[in-house]
Amino acid sequence: MAQGLTPRRIVSLVPSLTETIFAFGVGDKLVGRTRYCTQPPRAVGKVAKVGGTKRVDVARVLELEPDLIVAVREENTREDVEALMEAGVPVFLGSPETVVDAVEMLRELAGEVEAPLVEEVLQPIERTLERLRTQTRTARRVFVPIWKGPYMSIGSDTYVHDVLKTCDGENVCGGSTRYPAVTLQEIEALQPEVVLLPDEPYPFSAEDLPEFHALNIPAARSDRIHLVDGKLLTWYGPRMAGSLMQLAALLRAP
């Protein structure tokens, strides 16, 4: 944004940041969002769709005449972001790889949109982080797949890795970067004590449980294979405090 100008027409290409924009009290400025931006349901339903997170309809975005695009490197393609920049639209581009990074990104976004409800969103997250830091326990070995066919997990340079670490989870694929492919045999060799099966980006369900329960791993023997809401692991914004506490309780349970 040009110095001194407050955005009045925002297009968000990130589902969690769409939710955040409403939580910040500036949802009335949102004129465009992706079809995956579903929260908060009633309010966001009135906002125009501009394609998906990976396949943005750039022409449709430009038709909405935004004065700010909200994007994240992890979720949006370089081609779409560059096309919007080349069209002369200011782009807020986040790239958080840790929980602390995410909080800093949210505070920066709040400043960019001149949000009136900044501390209402951020203080609960910061208090939760401080609480978790003072209650650290021995980490449990955790496996989190994000895809199937082949199975793919998360490496050490991802936001999800740091979410697990923050909640006393030791990512068994933390020796890799980005999104390593793993076989069931390799999962067995990693000996995870907990397996979390999120419903996004791949929609793991009860049908996937038997395959993991059949593995010779501590998680199967102690019945610590859990179906979880993927938003707990990947969404930034107002739900972070609750997500971190819920995950910590799940990983720390006796």
Each residue's pLDDT tens digit, 118-173: 999 999 999 999 999 898 788 999 999 999 999 999 999 999 999 999 999 999 99
Share of the chain above pLDDT 90, in %: 93
Distances (CA, A) of 37 to 62, 68, 138, 204, 229: 18, 17, 36, 20, 16
Domains of the chain in sequence order: 10-116 (3.40.50.1980), 140-252 (3.40.50.1980)
Give the contacts of 234 (CB within 8 A, at least 6 positions apart). Answer: 16, 159, 160, 198, 200
pLDDT of 250 above 70: yes
Share of the chain above pLDDT 70, in %: 98
pLDDT of 72 above 90: yes
Counting Cα atoms < 13 Å in the Cβ hemisphere of 94 gives: 30
Q: What is the pLDDT of residue 253?
A: 84
- For tokens 């979720």, name the residue: 75
Q: What is the pLDDT of residue 4?
A: 54
Confidence class of residue 2 from pLDDT cuts 50, 70 and 90? very low
Q: What is the pLDDT of residue 138?
A: 87
Angle among Cα 102, 105, 107 to the nearest 5 degrees reads 110
Mean pLDDT of 37-57: 96
Rg of the Cα trace of the chain? Answer: 19
